[in-house]
Amino acid sequence: MYLKDGYSLVLKHRKPSIPFVLPTRHLEPPPSSSIPEPHVAQALRRESDVTRALQYFQHVATSTAFKHTPLTYHIMIEKLGSSNVEIDNIHYLLQQMKIEGVPCSEGLFICVLNSYKRAGLGERALKLFYRIKEFGCKPTVKIYNHLLDVLVGEAENRFHVIGAVYENMKGDGLEPNVFTYNILLKALCKNGKVDGACKLLVEMSKRGCVPDKVSYTTVVAGMCRDGRVDEAREAAKRYGVESMVSVCNALVCGLCKEGRIGEVFGLVNEMVEKGIDPDVVSYSSIISCLSDIGEVELSLAVFGQMVRRGCRPNAHTFSSLVKGHFFRGRVGEAVGLWRFMVLEGVRPNVVAYNTLLYGLCCNGNVDNAVMVCNQMEKDWFCRPNVTTYSTIVHGFAQAGDLQGASETWNRMIDRGVRPNVVVYTTMVDVLCKNSMFDQAYRLIDNMVSDGCPPTVVTFNTFIKGLCRGGRVQWALRVVDEMQSYGCFPDIRSYNELLDGLFCANGFREACELIRDLEERKVELNSVTYNTIMCGFSSQGMQELVLQVLGRMLVTGVEPDTVTVNIVIYAYSKLGKVKTAIQVLDKMTAEKELCSDIIAHTSVLWGICNWLSIEEAVVYLNKMLNSGIFPNIVTWNVLVRGFFNKLGHMGPIRILDDILGNG
C-alpha cells in the first residue's frame, strides 16, 4: 500500500532555513551612510513576516547605502529568535557581527540566550556562552542568570552543568543576586533536592541577599511536589510567609495533587478569614483538581464562588472546566463553556486551544478539531504549536485515518513547526495500522537526521505494529537494532514480542525468549505474566498456567482482573471447578478485584462440562442476584451445555424457567 498522490510529504523534513550570505566589509573602508538608522530599524520592526524581514536585512547589507549597526542587528536577531526554525541564522548574524567588529551588548547576548531557551537548545546556549568574549561582550551577573535559566528550563536534566556554571560565575568574581539564587532554588527543587534548597535559603541570608516571595514559594512548592505538604505548611509558618498568596497557592496545589479536597477548602477559608483574598491561581488550581477527578458539578460550584468574589477567571480556569466536561463525555457542555469564555472576552491561549482539540479528538470529533486548528492558524496571537498538530494527528491515528494524519503532518511542516518525538511516534503508529511498515521504518530513520532521535516508546509502537501485522521476525530484529539508536528495550518491548510470538504460533521462540529474560534477570510485570499464561493456555497447557501464577505471586507481582480470568479458565478446563469458584468467591468477598462476566462464564462452562446442569442453573441465579448479567457468550455456553446433557427439548424449558424467574 502506498500513500496517495499529494500525501507523500509525510516523510518530508522541515523546511531548511534561508541561506544566509552577507558581504564582508572588514577590508573595505566604511561607506558614507545615505539611509538613516531609524529608517532601517523601523522597517525591520514593522515587518511581521520573518522571511521578508531577513530579505530586507540582506538587501540593505549588500548595498553601499547602509552599514548595519548594533541596533539593527539586535532587532533582526530578536525577530529571528521569535521563530524557532530560524535559530541557525542567529548564529550566522553573530559571526557577521564578529567579522565586522560590531560589539555584542549585554542585552543582545541575553536576547540570543532567550531564543535558544524557546527552542530548547541549552547545549548550544552553553557553547555560545563560553565564546562570549569573541563577540566583544563580557559575562555579567545578568547574563549568567539568563544562562542558568536556560539550563534549568531544559527537558534534559543538566543539574551538574548548572553547578559548574555557578562555580564559574563565582570564579569570575561576580556576586550572585536574588535572581541567581531563585534559579538555583528552582534547579534544586526540580531535581528533588528540597533539603538543599532549604540550606540555600539560609546561605542567601548569610550573604546579605534577602529571600523574596519567589524564593519561599519555590521551596514550599518543591516540598509539595515531593509529597511533603504537611512539612511545607510547617515551613511556611517557620519562615513567616503563610500569609503570602503565592505560598498559599503552592499549598493549595500540593493538597489538590494528593486529593485532599476537604483540606483545600479549609485552607481557602483560612485565607479568607486572615484577609488573604484567593486569586485566580488559587481557584483555577482547585477547579483543575476537581476536573481531573471528574467532579464537574463541584468544579462549577467553585467557579460560581470565584465569580461572586469578584475574581475574574482566565484561560486556565476555563481550560480546566472544559477538560473536566470532556473527561465525563459531556461534549456539548464543554463546547458551551468554550463559547462562554470567548463571549466573556477571555482570549484563549495555545493551552486552552489544545485542551479543546484534545477533547474533540478523544470524543471522535476530529473534523471539528481541524476546523478549530484552521481558526488558530488565522490568529496571529495564538498560532498552533507542535502539541496542536500532534493532537490532531493522534486523533486521525486513533481512527486509522492515514490520509487525515498525513495532511495534518504536512501542514505542520509547511508552517515551520518542527515535529517532536510524540508526533513522530504517532505517525509511526498510523503507518503501522495501515500496514505501511517500510514507510514507518524510514520515518524512524529520518528522526535521527532531523535531530529528534527515537525513544523506546517509538520503537515499542513500531514493534507492536509489526506484531499485530504478523511481522514478528522483523520485530525481533528491531529489538536488536534499538541499541544502535541509543535505545534499550524495556519490559513493554518484550511483552509485545511475547504476545506476537504466541499469536503467530511461535511457541518455541516464545519459550526461548522467556528463558532469556529469566537468565538476564529482567523484572517481569503483570502484563508479562498474563501474556505467558494466556500463551500457555492457548496451547492447552493449563497446569503450566498455574505454575506461572505461583511464580508470579512468589515474585510479589500483584494479579489483576486479566490474571483471574486466565486462572479461572485454567481451573475450569482442568475440571477443578470447585477451586475456580472458591478463588472467584474469595476475590469478590475481599473486593481486591472486580470480577467480570468472563470469569463467571468460564465457571459456568466448567460446571456444565464437569458437574451438572442443575448446579449451573443455581450458579446462574447466584450471578443474577449479584447483579452480574450474562452476555451472548454466557448464554451460548449454557445452551451448548444443556444440549449436551439433556437433549434437544430440555434447554428450552429450563431457559424459560430461568428467564421467567429472572
Nearest Cα to Cα of residue 198 among 209, 210, 189 = 189
Beta carbons of 352 and 321 less than 8 angstroms apart: no
DSSP code, position 236: H
Residue 117: which residues within 8 A CB-CB, separation 6 or more?
A: 125, 146, 149, 150, 153
pTM for this prediction: 0.74
Residue with cell 493522534: 394
Residue 142, all three cell numbers? 545578568
Please, are residues 101 and 95 in contact by the beta-carbon 8 Å criterion? no
User: Hey, what amino acid is at 255?
Assistant: L
Enter the C-alpha cell of residue 321: 472546566
pLDDT at 390: 95
Q: What angle do CA 483, 486, 489 make, to 5 degrees?
A: 50
| Cβ-count burial 253-273 (b if 16+ within 10 Å, e if not) | bbbbeeeebebbeebbeebee
Which residues, 6+ apart, have CB-to-CB distance to 179 below 8 Å?
145
Query: What span, in angstroms and rounded, lies between the C-alpha atoms of 510 and 532?
Result: 9
Grid cell 464537574 — which residue? 296
Q: What is the predicted pLDDT for the residue at 605?
A: 94
pLDDT of res. 22: 44
Read off the C-alpha cell for 483. 541499541
Per-residue cell: 12: 518530508
Which of 138, 206, 212 has its CA nearest to residue 172? Answer: 138
Determine if residue 84 is left, alpha or beta; phi over 0 gives left, psi from -120 to 50 gives alpha, anything else beta: alpha
Cell numbers of 204, please? 542567601
How far is the first Cα of the chain from the last one, in angstroms, to the nearest whole number?
52
In the predicted model, residues of the chain with pLDDT beneath 50 are: 1-32, 648-649, 651, 661-662
Place of cell 485565607: 271
| SS3 state of residue 648 | coil
Q: Cell numbers at residue 650, please?
A: 430440555
pLDDT of residue 88: 79
What is the structure's pLDDT at 11? 45
Helix (H) or strand (E) holding 111: helix 106-118
Q: Using H for helix, E for strand and C for coil, what is the string for 23-66?
A: CCCCCCCCCCCCCCHHHHHHHHHHCCCHHHHHHHHHHHHHCCCC
Which burial class, exposed, middle or buried, applies to 430 when counting CB atoms under 10 A from its CB (0-12, 13-18, 19+)? buried
